[in-house]
Chain A
Amino acid sequence: MKQEFKIISSLIGKNSKILDVGCGNGELMKFILKNISNNIRGLEISKENVQACIQKGLTVIEGNAELDLGQFPNKSFGYVILSQTLQAFLKPEKVLFELLRVGKKAIVTIPNFGYWKVRTDLLFKGTMPVTENLPNEWYNTPNLHMCTIKDFVNFCNQRNLKLTKSISLSGNKVSHITRRNLNYKNLSSELGIFEIEK
């Protein structure tokens, strides 16, 4: 999703040091490298994706975010990005706190399970939702911990994590999520993009 990349990039200061956790095939890193900062590296669990990153000339470390973030010193990155991966971890809470230890700021995006299409799928079809952002069936989804935007906002508030930016993305429509419009954005957003500080 190109729009997501643009929003993430707009949050990042020029030439900052960046870690992309779960960087996949490196498309986001490539975008940032070209437009924002060449001081970026990725952590990726899939060998195939690591190969793809190397082919693109990106710096990538094969590893598992749940085990391998420990090797990075405190605040060693300006930004740590986690794009649509939080829901796939066994312990998302632990990973989130690791992101905030390693980075001064974390940028986390989550596919919103509260999106109206997801809700209607379940309501009318009575089957687990399959959408553009959630393309897998219940039996082969890597997503272990789906949440809604509202869940995530509450989660951060309960732990005193500062959401310095909260952005909603629906199609190509970008808007801000506020305390007032949270219920509505929780229904209308496909994706939530958050900048978090501890």
Chain B
Amino acid sequence: MNKIDNLNKYIVKEVLKLDCGKEISNFPIAYETYGKLNDKKNNGILIFHALTGDQFPGGKNPITNKEGWWNYALGPDKAIDTNKFFVISANVIGGCMGSFGPSSINPKTNKPYGSNFPVITINDMVNAQNFLLDRFNIKKLFAVIGGSMGGMQVLQFISNFPNKAEVAIPIACTASHSAQNIALNELGRQAIMADGEWDNGNYLQNGKSPSKGLSVARMAAHITYLSKKGLQEKFGRKLQERDTLKFGFDADFQIESYLRYQGSVFVDRFDANSYLYITRAMDYFDLTKQFNGNLSDAFKNSKTKFFIISFTSDWLYPTSENREIVIALNAIGADVGFIEIKSDKGHDSFLLDVPDFLSSVKNFLNNSYKNINETRV
């Protein structure tokens, strides 16, 4: 955990009132930046991460020693060009990569918060990250971008701060978590809480680790990130290092082995309580309800230019739900573009090498940036 202490952190001194009613202050937000902020301070991009992401979309993650989660999209000359833009990415509160979360130490007890951590929402996450802009003295960002839960944060950010971003790119997301989304998250949470090692959330202080439960949660979730076709093409019924079925419960099939592997590597980098808290935040997300059933009202004070992207094979946050956002924006005459990218890679498409997706983001960002700078000269 020492390595985590060395990450960039901004201590928010201000009081943040959470949706649950509790107030927090003097809390850390762990962040990373890429590229250089220009003199006009108008090339800033804030990237919001998804459920199990962190503040390292690009480069190398110093904790896991793996490439950043958005390595295909972010870097010099890539879709989000760090030669051109100054990219900020923060770990959400509730997370486990240095920001204020359930594994943080409660100064009153000198023990990790565990289950005593307050329940947080997407709204809380966004409000917390907004403080980070003060750290860089940025009045207005060029862009806010995020996929999946990151996309929900994009929507909430524009709603909370209507004129703090020139453009917004919510990707593969929804304005309201569906019953199916909640059900799938509940499955993951129950897997964690059913693990005796979870110990009512106090595993850290009691030297335990609910890695079995967390691993099952990850396996179940991982299936939802892929498409049936993608799974079939990659794995089919191929057997794992054997020629015949073994008539047992070992991993006979490659898909089983793959999922077990995904589960096992996940527990090394992710905190089980963070998984509970962040999935809860996603489930509570209902921007439409925040505006009494009229999603358009969430954006009515904003001049931000939207570009919404969905994927054909994404059944977790399908095109229809992304289109709801487009419809709400059109209803108030907002500036909105929309594209559905053809891909067999399911919800995970936004994290993978999908050329049509990456070129769309690149073209949109570069053209918008050019327009903004031309009209302002």
A interface residue numbers (CB < 8 A to B): 17, 41, 47, 50-51, 54-57, 59-63, 71-73, 76
Contact check, B363 vs A55: say whether CB atoms are below 8 A apart.
yes
Nearest chain B residue, comparing its CB with the CB of A42: B337
B351-377 interface with A by 8 A CB criterion: 356, 359-360, 363-364, 367-368, 370-371
The contact sample of 20 A-B pairs, CB cut-off 8 A, is A41-B336, A47-B356, A51-B339, A54-B360, A54-B363, A54-B367, A55-B359, A55-B363, A56-B367, A57-B371, A59-B305, A59-B335, A60-B338, A61-B330, A61-B337, A61-B338, A62-B338, A62-B339, A71-B330, A73-B333
B326 near A61 (CB under 8 angstroms)?
Answer: yes
Chain B residues packing against A (C-beta within 8 Å): 305, 326-327, 330-331, 333, 335-342, 356, 359-360, 363-364, 367-368, 370-371
* Residue of B327, B360, B368 touching A51 (CB-CB under 8 A): B360
Contact A47 B340 (CB under 8 A): yes
Q: Is the beta-carbon distance between B330 and A54 smaller than 8 angstroms?
A: no
Alpha-carbon distance between A54 and B339 when the two chains are bound, in angstroms: 9
Q: How far is the CA of A173 from the CA of B288 in the complex (A)?
A: 53
Query: Do B337 and A60 have beta carbons less than 8 Å apart?
Result: yes
Is the CB–CB distance between B333 and A76 below 8 Å?
A: yes
Look across to chain B and name the residue whose beta carbon is closest to the beta carbon of A44: B339
Rounded to whole angstroms, the CA-CA distance of A61 and B339 in the bound complex is: 6
With a CB–CB cut-off of 8 A, which chain A residues contact B337?
A: 41, 54, 59-61
* A62 B330 Cβ-Cβ under 8 A: no
Bound CA–CA A59/B342 (angstroms)? 19
Query: In the assembled complex, which residues on chain B have CB atoms less than 8 Å from the CB atom of A61?
Result: 326, 330, 336-338
CB distance from A150 to the nearest CB of B (A): 36
Taking the closest CB of chain A, its distance from the CB of B338, in whole angstroms, is: 5
- CB proximity of B162 to chain A, nearest CB, Å: 19
State in angstroms the CA–CA spacing of A72 and B333 once bound together.
8
**Given the contacts A51-B339, A54-B339, A71 and B326 also touching, CB distance less than 8 Å:** yes
Distance between Cα atoms of A47 and B370 in the complex (Å): 24
Residues of B within 8 A of A73 (CB): 331, 333
Q: Are A57 and B367 in contact (CB under 8 A)?
A: yes
In whole Å, how far is A99's beta carbon from the nearest beta carbon of chain B? Answer: 15
**Minimal beta-carbon separation of B49 from chain A (angstroms):** 24
Establish whether residues B335 and A57, one from each chain, have CB atoms under 8 Å apart when the complex forms: no
Q: Which of A50, A57, A60, A72 contacts B330 (CB 8 A)?
A: A72
Query: Do the beta carbons of B327 and A57 come within 8 Å of each other?
Result: no
Which residues of the partner chain B approach A60 to less than 8 Å between Cβ atoms? Answer: 337-339
Q: Known interface pairs A47-B340, A57-B370, A61-B330. Does A41 touch B335 (Cβ–Cβ under 8 Å)? A: yes
Given that A57-B363, A71-B330, A71-B331 are contacting pairs, would A50 and B371 also be in contact in the complex, using a CB cutoff of 8 Å? no
Which B residues are in CB contact (< 8 Å) with A55? 359, 363, 367
Q: How far is the CA of A125 from the CA of B363 in the complex (A)?
A: 47
Q: Report Cα–Cα, A133/B331, bound state, in Å.
A: 35
Please report the C-alpha to C-alpha distance between residue A63 and residue B371 in the assembled complex, in whole angstroms.
25
Which residue of chain A is the closest to B319 with respect to CB atoms?
A: A62
Check if B333 sits within 8 Å of A71, measured CB to CB: no
Q: Is A63 in contact with B338, judged by CB distance below 8 angstroms?
A: yes
**Chain B residue at minimal CB-CB distance from A61:** B338
